[in-house]
Chains A and B, each alone.
Chain A
Amino acid sequence: MYKAFLIKYGEIGIKGKNRYMFEDALVKQIERALSHVEGSFTVTKESGRIYVDTEGEYDYEEMIQALQHVFGIVGIAPMVQIEEEGFDRLAEEFIAYVDAVYPDKNFTFKVHARRGRKNYPMDSMEINKELGSRLLAAFPELKVDVHQPKVNLYVEIRQRINLFSEVLPGCGGMPVGTNGKAMLLLSGGIDSPVAGYMIAKRGVVLEAVYFHAPPYTSERAKQKVIDLAKQVASYAGPIQLHIVNFTDIQLYIHEKCPHEELTIIMRRYMMKIAQKLAEENGALGLITGESIGQVASQTIHSLYATNEVCTMPVFRPLIGFDKQDIVDIALKIGTYETSILPYEDCCTIFVAKHPVTKPNLKIIRHSEENLSEKIEELVQTALDTKETILCGS
């Protein structure tokens, strides 16, 4: 029955003179999300409102789900739109609307009329009162409650008249494309896709880098990361995923450095490479899924040691999260099932039995001197041979 939808957005409404930019970005993201849905949709911006109009048959469930993946939307109101043909006609349509949407009439309500057009012959208060009493006359079981109504009935008088009541939740945040770009270090685990989701939710365009180490990691592990990138892309929009072959660097570190420091040194090089890729691609920050104390390489000492190689900001949105909190988000955004697939890589080979948990930066730097002969060349080769895949659309 719904042919049109009112898109409610939150934070971007208050952005002053930049507002049009945020709205345009949101319109673009909505169009992108709806391009994957069966049906024909038009997104329009009209005096501080965004509407989606449908034409012909479409899949309602699929459409709502697509809109609920768009950052920046706080609510989606399915609307019935009627032409302005006098108040009696409006009241009839209004009663018919309530009858269709709420078959069971045992509830309290309040009418909220708004006039976008001030030349309408009645003012908002009058419309509220008159529609309310006509509705009560039609369905005597209904009750008015102006303080805590069960159902809010909205009547918006603009060029046409919009009737809506139910507002479906959106996922909030800001439209992707309004806050620059950042490079996500994506592994096959639970955390990094969630971290990417959270930063993208603030309007940031994502690129991602995955460190592949064949034969220690399998093709399936790589496919899993591609799948995760696609899942994050269903919210964040298309993601350029850079797949960097890390094997030779890993082996070289393994050969030259003390084993308890392997993970830290490896991570330092991952950050360095990620930063280079970020610079090359116009990203202004890195994103990791780190959370303090989760594993040896994420103690505050380790984070300090890893962070030291970075000159650009590193965003760690999960830093204060418990594992379960992260899992909850992963479940919500649909990456969990993929993350726990057991292609866990044999990277564990490169993990010392007792890795340092309080690395000393001086010692780490000293160990890294052993790499001076070949490491620059290996890093360059890794960058030169990277494979880039566009995930999502």
Chain B
Amino acid sequence: MEAYLDNSATTKVSARVVEAVAAAMTDDYGNPSAMHNMGVRAENKVREARELLARLIKVEEKEIYFTSGGTESNNMALIGAAMANRRAGNRIITTQIEHPSVSNTMEYLKEQGFAITALPVDPYGQVQKEALREAMTEDTILVSVMYVNNEIGAVEPVEEISHIIRAVNPKVIFHVDGIQAFGKYKIYPKRLGIDLLSVSGHKLHAPKGVGFLYKHSQIKVKPIVFGGGQQDGLRAGTLNVPGIVGLAVAAGEAYTDFEKKQEKLYQLKALFVAGIQEIEGTKMNGYPGRESAPHIVSVSFDGVRSEVLLHALEERGIYASAGSACSSHKASISPTLKALGLDKHYLDSTLRFSFSIFTTEEEIDYALKALKEILPVLRKVTGR
């Protein structure tokens, strides 16, 4: 038996998506920018995809820009917005628990002369609002906060954050990394005050290499990719028609029986969390229940190296992910886990388990049973 519990890393592509992607590659394979009929057919596919995605998050179609995935969406949003609004100010605010596609982009912007503030979080991974109020200044041009944290599943108070920052500077641009959240939460950027929203396809059963960025039509963003002027010149490059079609089908599927699917994930999570709590020497990171994301559970294990546990689980066909690799390399300690204020010995003893709608209760049971068998054996060696 196998248990794939690494759905926050990537997901299996759903059968309907595969079918739609294959059709886009073999039937409607024209270049959507081409003038002839084949081009028009491909363009129509992209238009349909854009229409659907815009409808799902209640924005205008022209506000959707297709990208090569989450990383590019984050890069385009942050670098593009910072560069386009440089005259308005120099400050950018983010958090200490962002994904590397945000935190490393911030490092780049710092090199470009921007002043970056990374906000601390509480032990549950929630942005400290007091710190945000203190950090927020009138010359802050951009704030970037993730919707769901990829390592512990913390859900950030996005709407509240947008109120807090706009009270100080109504013109501040608010970017949200929605890569782990899209399809798990119904995100309506206009209601939540989000100006830029990054989404990735392969986290929700679409292929790798496709994503989109929602950009409020009034927000100025400079392109970071140059070429043939596609997508209003903001993101050049021949559109990835098969990927875009796949992304739309996957999103459509996620939004069918949305609540039912979310409920299923919460129940899987509850089952897993209950099982973990029966195991001695374990510690849940983040909220264990419905205060945090339905598909991510982070657990620290006393006296076990995460990498060893990961490989021991892998031997039984169980796939999870380690926040930090072996501690002989200090650089690989997860900044997120550090920001939570986790005890030092937990930093490289933490695994992330993440679920999808394809995850079954049997998989969860199988993984829990394996953990109960493996942990005592591993602890015999690592405890000393």
Partners in one complex: yes
State whether B315 touches A254 (Cβ < 8 A). Answer: no
A380 contacts the other chain (CB 8 A): no
State whether A346 touches B307 (Cβ < 8 A). Answer: yes
Q: CB-nearest residue of chain A relative to B305? A: A346
B325 contacts the other chain (CB 8 A): yes
Shortest Cβ distance from B383 into chain A, in angstroms?
Answer: 10
Q: CB-nearest residue of chain B relative to A344? A: B328
A372 contacts the other chain (CB 8 A): no
Residues of A near B307 (CB, < 8 A) are: 218, 346
B contact patch SS: helix
State whether A218 touches B311 (Cβ < 8 A). Answer: yes
Q: B305: which of A214, A251, A349 is its contact (CB, 8 Å)?
A: A349
User: Of residues A255, A259, A349, which shows the largest number of chain B Cβ atoms within 10 Å of its Cβ?
Assistant: A349
Residues of B near A346 (CB, < 8 A) are: 305, 307-308, 326
State whether B326 touches A344 (Cβ < 8 A). Answer: yes
The interface bits of chain B over 273-315 (1 if a CB of A lies within 8 angstroms of the residue's CB, else 0) are 0000000000000000000000000000000010111111111
State whether B328 touches A215 (Cβ < 8 A). Answer: no
Residues of A near B328 (CB, < 8 A) are: 344, 348
Shortest Cβ distance from A89 into chain B, in angstroms?
Answer: 58
State whether A344 touches B312 (Cβ < 8 A). Answer: no
Residues of A near B329 (CB, < 8 A) are: 342, 344
Q: How far is the CA of A346 from the CA of B348 in the complex (A)?
A: 11
B382 contacts the other chain (CB 8 A): yes
The interface bits of chain A over 335-356 (1 if a CB of B lies within 8 angstroms of the residue's CB, else 0) are 0000000101110111000000
State whether A349 touches B308 (Cβ < 8 A). Answer: yes
State whether B326 touches A345 (Cβ < 8 A). Answer: yes
Q: How far is the CA of A214 from the CA of B311 in the complex (A)?
A: 7
Q: CB-nearest residue of chain B relative to A259? A: B384
Q: How far is the CA of A259 from the CA of B383 in the complex (A)?
A: 13
Q: B315: which of A214, A344, A350 is its contact (CB, 8 Å)?
A: A214
Residues of B near A58 (CB, < 8 A) are: none
Q: CB-nearest residue of chain A relative to B384? A: A259
Q: How far is the CA of A215 from the CA of B317 in the complex (A)?
A: 13
Shortest Cβ distance from B198 into chain A, in angstroms?
Answer: 28
A2 contacts the other chain (CB 8 A): no
Q: How far is the CA of A216 from the CA of B326 in the complex (A)?
A: 10
B332 contacts the other chain (CB 8 A): yes
Shortest Cβ distance from A55 into chain B, in angstroms?
Answer: 42
Q: Which residues of A from 296 to 347 have beta carbons under 8 Å from B?
A: 342, 344-346
State whether A215 touches B309 (Cβ < 8 A). Answer: yes
Shortest Cβ distance from B376 into chain A, in angstroms?
Answer: 13
Task: Contacts A254-B381, A259-B384, A342-B332 given; indicate if A348 touches B326 (C-beta within 8 A).
Answer: yes
Residues of A near B326 (CB, < 8 A) are: 344-346, 348
The interface bits of chain B over 78-95 (1 if a CB of A lies within 8 angstroms of the residue's CB, else 0) are 000000000000000000
Residues of A near B380 (CB, < 8 A) are: 255
Shortest Cβ distance from B23 into chain A, in angstroms?
Answer: 36
State whether B308 touches A215 (Cβ < 8 A). Answer: yes
Residues of A near B312 (CB, < 8 A) are: 214-215
Q: CB-nearest residue of chain A relative to B309? A: A215
Shortest Cβ distance from B125 into chain A, in angstroms?
Answer: 26
Q: CB-nearest residue of chain B relative to A251? A: B381
Q: CB-nearest residue of chain A relative to B326? A: A346
Shortest Cβ distance from A250 into chain B, in angstroms?
Answer: 9
Shortest Cβ distance from A257 into chain B, in angstroms?
Answer: 13
Shortest Cβ distance from A216 into chain B, in angstroms?
Answer: 6
Q: How far is the CA of A219 from the CA of B325 in the complex (A)?
A: 14
Q: A216: which of B308, B314, B325 is its contact (CB, 8 Å)?
A: B308
Q: How far is the CA of A216 from the CA of B308 in the complex (A)?
A: 5
Shortest Cβ distance from B380 into chain A, in angstroms?
Answer: 8
Q: How far is the CA of A25 from the CA of B314 in the complex (A)?
A: 45
State whether A216 touches B332 (Cβ < 8 A). Answer: no
User: Of residues A214, A215, A251, which shows the largest number of chain B Cβ atoms within 10 Å of its Cβ?
Assistant: A215
Residues of A near B311 (CB, < 8 A) are: 214-219
Q: CB-nearest residue of chain B relative to A215? A: B311
Q: How far is the CA of A247 from the CA of B310 in the complex (A)?
A: 16
Q: How far is the CA of A363 from the CA of B101 in the complex (A)?
A: 54
State whether B381 touches A349 (Cβ < 8 A). Answer: yes
Q: CB-nearest residue of chain B relative to A352? A: B384
Shortest Cβ distance from B317 into chain A, in angstroms?
Answer: 13
Shortest Cβ distance from A82 into chain B, in angstroms?
Answer: 53
Q: CB-nearest residue of chain A relative to B307? A: A346
Q: CB-nearest residue of chain A relative to B325? A: A342
Q: CB-nearest residue of chain B relative to A214? A: B311
Q: How far is the CA of A349 from the CA of B384 in the complex (A)?
A: 9
Q: Which residues of B from 16 to 49 have beta carbons under 8 Å from A?
A: none
Q: CB-nearest residue of chain B relative to A349? A: B382
Shortest Cβ distance from B345 into chain A, in angstroms?
Answer: 13
Q: How far is the CA of A214 from the CA of B378 in the complex (A)?
A: 12
Q: Which residues of B from 118 to 162 have beta carbons under 8 Å from A?
A: none
Residues of B near A348 (CB, < 8 A) are: 326, 328
Residues of B near A251 (CB, < 8 A) are: 381
Q: How far is the CA of A51 from the CA of B326 in the complex (A)?
A: 52
Q: B314: which of A215, A255, A342, A349 is its contact (CB, 8 Å)?
A: A215
Q: How far is the CA of A350 from the CA of B305 in the complex (A)?
A: 12
Q: CB-nearest residue of chain B relative to A348? A: B328
Q: How far is the CA of A328 from the CA of B284 in the complex (A)?
A: 47
User: Of residues B312, B314, B378, B381, which shows the largest number of chain A Cβ atoms within 10 Å of its Cβ?
Assistant: B381
Shortest Cβ distance from B352 into chain A, in angstroms?
Answer: 17
Q: Which residues of B from 340 to 381 have beta carbons under 8 Å from A?
A: 378, 380-381
The interface bits of chain A over 55-82 (1 if a CB of B lies within 8 angstroms of the residue's CB, else 0) are 0000000000000000000000000000
Q: How far is the CA of A214 from the CA of B377 in the complex (A)?
A: 13
Shortest Cβ distance from B302 into chain A, in angstroms?
Answer: 15
Q: Which residues of A from 342 to 388 have beta carbons under 8 Å from B?
A: 342, 344-346, 348-350
The interface bits of chain A over 183-227 (1 if a CB of B lies within 8 angstroms of the residue's CB, else 0) are 000000000000000000000000000000011111100000000
Shortest Cβ distance from B318 into chain A, in angstroms?
Answer: 11
Q: How far is the CA of A54 from the CA of B228 in the complex (A)?
A: 46
Q: How far is the CA of A350 from the CA of B384 in the complex (A)?
A: 10
Shortest Cβ distance from B311 into chain A, in angstroms?
Answer: 3
Q: How far is the CA of A185 from the CA of B382 in the complex (A)?
A: 26
Q: How far is the CA of A349 from the CA of B382 in the complex (A)?
A: 6
Shortest Cβ distance from B246 into chain A, in angstroms?
Answer: 29
Q: How far is the CA of A215 from the CA of B305 in the complex (A)?
A: 11
Q: Which residues of B from 232 to 277 have beta carbons under 8 Å from A?
A: none
Top 6 A-B pairs, shortest CB-CB distance: A215-B311, A215-B312, A346-B308, A346-B326, A346-B305, A342-B329
17 A–B pairs (Cβ distance < 8 Å), ordered by A: A214-B311, A214-B315, A215-B308, A215-B312, A216-B308, A216-B311, A254-B381, A344-B326, A344-B328, A344-B329, A345-B326, A346-B305, A346-B307, A346-B326, A348-B326, A349-B381, A350-B381
| Sample of 18 further A-B pairs with CB below 8 A, known A344-B326, A348-B328 | A214-B312, A214-B315, A215-B310, A215-B311, A215-B312, A215-B378, A218-B307, A219-B311, A251-B381, A254-B381, A342-B329, A342-B332, A344-B328, A344-B329, A346-B305, A346-B326, A349-B305, A349-B382
